[in-house]
């Protein structure tokens, strides 16, 4: 099992045992959702909150997901998924990164492709407290455009 988390203090370490416990129930991936139940994000502003909502709705509509948070980095998943969902090479990222002049992470695409494959996915509530590392380095427009391009491209590009 791989656990990805944000190194700037806004992934709550106390819920790590809950992520692992849920994985032991036989899930392929468990997401610490910032929008499930009582969880909240202290990092969102109006733009990023809307973006997260839009991306989640898009993946759910186009790819059959049932997510509340497709973008969050804080999650646990089986190591084999990185290979099975073809995330290890550059082919999934090269074109959007080149088109939009940025580097992107694989968690949103992992959400998309896991939904397309109808894998066993769960979410648990997970607050996102304020960052301890200062300002976020999010390139809102570039990253947003690159991820949205990926979600649309996945409709026909990846089976």
| H helix or E strand, kind and range, residue 32 | strand 29-33
Note the pLDDT of residue 136: 65
pLDDT band (50, 70, 90) for residue 134: low
Structure confidence at residue 100 as a pLDDT band (50, 70, 90) = very high
Q: How confident is the model at residue 43 (pLDDT cuts 50, 70, 90)?
A: confident
DSSP string of 125-149? Answer: E--BPPPSSSS----HHHHHHHHHH
Q: What is the pLDDT of residue 139?
A: 76
pLDDT, position 150: 93
Q: Is residue 5 classed as helix, strand or coil in its secondary structure?
A: coil
Q: Tell me what the mean pLDDT of segment 140-148 comes to.
A: 90
Q: 């090479």: which residue's tokens?
A: 89
In whole angstroms, what is the distance from residue 124 CA to residue 110 CA? 17
What count of Cα atoms within 13 Å lies in the side-chain half-sphere of residue 24?
6
The region of weakest confidence among 15-29, 63-77, 110-124, 133-147 is 133-147
The model's pLDDT over 51-92, given as tens digits with 9 standing for 90+, comes to: 999 999 999 999 999 999 999 999 999 999 999 999 998 888
Bridge partners of residue 32, in order along the sequence: 124
Contact 77, 30 (CB under 8 A): yes
Reported as a single tens digit per residue, the pLDDT across 20-39 is 999 999 999 999 999 999 99
Q: State the Cα–Cα distance between residues 60 and 63, nearest whole angstrom.
A: 6
């Amino acid at each position: 099992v791989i656990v990805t988390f944000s190194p700037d203090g806004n992934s709550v370490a106390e819920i790590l045992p809950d992520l692992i416990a849920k994985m032991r129930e036989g899930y392929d991936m468990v997401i610490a959702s910032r929008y499930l139940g009582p969880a909240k994000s202290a990092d969102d502003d109006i733009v990023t909150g809307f973006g997260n909502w839009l991306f989640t709705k898009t993946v759910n509509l186009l790819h059959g997901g049932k997510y509340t948070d497709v973008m969050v980095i804080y999650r646990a998943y089986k190591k084999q998924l990185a290979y099975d969902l073809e995330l290890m090479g550059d082919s999934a990222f090269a074109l959007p990164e080149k088109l939009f002049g940025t580097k992107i992470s694989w968690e949103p695409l992992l959400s998309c492709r896991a939904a397309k494959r109808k894998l066993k996915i769960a979410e648990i509530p997970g607050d996102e407290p304020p960052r301890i590392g200062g300002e976020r380095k999010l390139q809102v427009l570039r990253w947003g455009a690159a991820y949205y391009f990926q979600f649309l491209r996945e409709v026909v590009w990846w089976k």
